Amino acid sequence: MSMSLSAITAAATALVHNNTNDHVFAAGDTNCGTGGGADSFFGLRVASVFIILIGSSFGAFFPVMAKRSTWLHVPKAIFDFAKYFGSGVIIATGFIHLLSPALDALGSDCLSDAWKTYPYALALCLFSIFAIFIVELIAFRWGTAKLAKIGKHHDAHGHAYGGHAAHGPEGNLVGTVKRTTKDEVASIADAEGVGIDGAAAGHGHDHDHHHHQGNAFADQAMAQIIGVAILEFGVALHSILIGLTLAVDENFKILFVVLCFHQTFEGLGIGTRLAHMELPSRYNWVPFAGAVLYGLTTPIGIAVGLGVRTLYNPDSTTASIVSGVLDSLSSGILIYTGLVELLAHEFLFNREMMESSNAKLAYALGSMCLGCGLMALLGRWA
């Protein structure tokens, strides 16, 4: 992730150097690089670095702390609300806050006609979706082969099963699933000298069997980390770009208020993903590191934007191309994650949810739709 931040910073520097050389491709009032962004409300723009840092960090850290803390007793209904609300936020972010701006950026009047002869934003989004799918497919097959050696089955959600996978092609969709129990997870963790929050004492197995299960559990943990890292990568690109925009946008006040809610809601989506990672004790730092990373990305973008505010023009030709391409790729990541990893796995392939009461299902769906709806509404202004 540090490499992605460095790449974005370098891209921002490149935009500064190219802004003064951009040309206007269309007539009218379109500003395609004839100066920097707005310089009003400078004090408030500086304060926005810290205000958005607090809001973003709160959204990301709250689910992580609530899940792992022994003193912060959050009712399960509240935690479930944050979980499903955040899932809806991620889906809306992919479509409304990433794909739509990418279409606008790559369709800008500042770009040459070559950019308008093909829907590049949609093509890049499609490429991103298939790239993530292929990566997950390869990881799934590799993990399945390793788990087969100890007589277990694997699904793309990162669980080991004693029966069929929940979304396998054979058997009943719900009835064939047998989830790994807490005792089984604890048994695997104990074999490698690791632990999981809330795990009880494991079953007794021979040393060699423990060793294989421990390795499989570590592989599952790494698969979860990679999945969340991919999601954070897409969000980080988006967050830094909107930070740059906020630093120089003429409609700063409106955009600032909207982004405070935007970043907090998006933080809940990231935080709930981080909180539900079942990791060995040696990886307990990962959810906290992910929350810190999310909290810092937009403030970093704002700080960079403030530093180059007199030169950086978000409407320039180069800026439109860079932001359009990055937003397109990021949208594919969030759309795939939202629809496959969150929507499908949390509802269609989740035995507990499929067997739950209608009231619980309605509560989960309502929470998700509320998060999606509010985030989509924020797209009216940002």
φ, ψ (nearest 5 deg) of residue 263 = -70, -35
CB of 19 closer than 8 Å to CB of 33: yes
CA distance 2 to 229: 11
CA distance 142 to 137: 9
Least confident piece of the model among 12-21, 274-283, 334-343: 12-21
pLDDT of 35-71, one tens digit each?
A: 566 667 888 899 999 999 999 999 999 999 888 877 7
- Identify whether 12 is part of a domain: yes
- Identify whether 304 is part of a domain: yes
Three-class DSSP labels, 312-333: CCCCCHHHHHHHHHHHHHHHHH
Write the CB contacts of 163 (distance below 8 Å, at least 6 apart in sequence). 153, 176, 177, 178
Query: Mean pLDDT: which of 27-31, 44-48, 176-180 is highest?
Result: 44-48
CA distance 44 to 162: 57
- Identify whether 232 is part of a domain: yes
CA distance 345 to 347: 6
Under the banding of pLDDT at 50, 70 and 90, the label for residue 331 is very high
CA distance 206 to 213: 11
Query: So what's the pLDDT on residue 21?
Result: 44
- Identify whether 211 is part of a domain: no
- Identify whether 133 is part of a domain: no
**Structural domain boundaries, residue 58:** 2-122+225-378
Q: For the chain, how many structural domains are there in total?
A: 1
CB of 192 closer than 8 Å to CB of 280: yes
- The three-state secondary structure class of 74 is coil
pLDDT of 69-78, one tens digit each?
A: 777 778 888 8
- Identify whether 155 is part of a domain: no
- Identify whether 51 is part of a domain: yes
Distances (CA, A) of 321 to 5, 71, 88, 329, 381: 18, 48, 28, 12, 22
Distances (CA, A) of 139 to 142, 143, 185: 5, 6, 21
φ, ψ (nearest 5 deg) of residue 279 = -125, 150
* pLDDT beyond 70 at 228: yes
CB of 174 closer than 8 Å to CB of 354: yes
Supply the pTM of this predicted model: 0.73
- Identify whether 160 is part of a domain: no
